[in-house]
């Protein structure tokens, strides 16, 4: 009984406060319209429910009005060198040497070369590479011009290979990479009389590491160190090359 009376007194006070604060003064010439009475009644109900519930309804209403609508975040475009299906082209000048237990390693030592390198991006950090190389090695001069020696000749090795390239920190302008693959080598011994003889032709394995530095969004300097290993005619031949060049990523 006491609670009912207390609720009635609280509702009456809330209605009186709403009437005093939100309605025109009794001495004014204006009259109350039905809309004004309805507005006052709704405010009194809101005040009564707010008092009963500790003001939580008014608090929730004000908070919902102040909160802005959620805006979905948009990611920026992926840079060209990290987009899948991107095709790029590179050119490298290189210098290498040949070692091993084969006759090629016994007759030739080192020399210059060049390479064309293509890359096809499979993912932001992985690419499929294709290399076409032309490498020359000079002959090791024997003390005497003995038969079956290579004093008046040089070795030309033409190779084609495919590699899987793994990039680290590809989002940065300067980043390293690693590669692993295999290919096919065609070594030719070129004599001074314009005669040639092919030797130790076959499949080889290759591996290496490199470093790429972008100086433009689609243009970079590219350096690499590569090792090759081949077994042909029961003879082992290895080659090592240091290359430096440029790489170009055409597109938008």
Encode pLDDT of 190-237 as tens digits: 887 678 888 889 999 999 999 999 999 899 999 999 999 998 888 899
Distances (CA, A) of 39 to 8, 22, 47, 58, 239: 20, 9, 12, 16, 93
Q: Are residues 101 and 56 in the same domain?
A: no
Q: Are residues 166 and 87 in the same domain?
A: yes
pTM confidence score = 0.66
| Mean predicted confidence (pLDDT) in 54-80 | 60
Q: Are residues 200 and 108 in the same domain?
A: yes
Average pLDDT, the chain: 79
Instruction: Please count the structural domains in the chain.
Output: 2
- Is the pLDDT reported for residue 179 higher than 80? yes
Residue range(s) defining the domain that contains residue 54: 2-24+32-66
* Complete DSSP assignment for 44-77: HHHHHHHHHTTTHHHHHHHHHHHSPPP----PPP
Predicted confidence at residue 37, as pLDDT, reads 45
Helix axes 34-52, 2-22, angle to 10 degrees: 130
Does 109 reside within a domain? yes
Does 95 reside within a domain? yes
Q: Are residues 123 and 20 in the same domain?
A: no
Q: Are residues 61 and 185 in the same domain?
A: no
- Taken as a whole, the chain contains a residue count of 252
Does 73 reside within a domain? no
Domain of 208, CATH number, reads 2.40.160.20
Q: Are residues 99 and 139 in the same domain?
A: yes
- Is the pLDDT reported for residue 48 higher than 80? no
Of these ranges, 36-40, 71-75, 239-243, the one predicted with the greatest mean pLDDT is 239-243
- Is the pLDDT reported for residue 24 higher than 80? no
Q: Are residues 47 and 92 in the same domain?
A: no
Distance CA 128, CA 179 (A): 9
How many other C-beta atoms lie within 10 A of the C-beta of residue 79?
Answer: 16
Predicted confidence at residue 70, as pLDDT, reads 67
């Amino acid at each position: 009984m006491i609670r009912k009376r207390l609720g009635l007194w609280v509702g009456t006070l809330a209605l009186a406060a709403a009437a005093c604060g939100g309605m025109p003064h009794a001495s004014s010439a204006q009259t109350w319209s039905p809309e004004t009475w309805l507005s006052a009644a709704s405010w009194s109900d809101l005040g009564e429910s707010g008092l009963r519930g500790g003001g939580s309804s008014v608090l929730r209403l004000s908070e919902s009005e102040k909160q802005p609508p959620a805006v979905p975040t948009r990611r920026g475009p992926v840079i060209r060198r990290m987009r899948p299906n991107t095709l790029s082209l590179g050119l490298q000048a290189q210098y290498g040497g040949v070692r091993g237990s084969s006759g090629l390693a016994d007759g030739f030592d080192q020399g210059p070369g060049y390479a064309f390198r293509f890359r096809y991006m499979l993912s932001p950090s992985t690419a499929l590479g294709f290399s076409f190389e032309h490498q020359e090695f000079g002959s090791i001069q024997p003390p005497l011009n003995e038969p079956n020696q290579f004093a008046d000749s040089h070795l030309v090795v033409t190779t084609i290979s495919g590699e899987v390239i793994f990039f680290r920190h590809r989002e940065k302008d300067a980043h390293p990479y690693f590669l692993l693959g295999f290919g096919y080598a065609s070594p030719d011994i070129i004599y001074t009389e314009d005669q040639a003889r092919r030797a130790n032709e076959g499949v080889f394995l290759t591996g290496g590491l490199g470093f790429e530095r972008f100086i433009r969004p689609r243009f970079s300097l590219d350096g690499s160190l590569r090792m090759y290993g081949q077994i042909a005619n029961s003879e082992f031949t290895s080659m090592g090359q240091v290359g430096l060049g440029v790489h170009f990523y055409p597109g938008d």
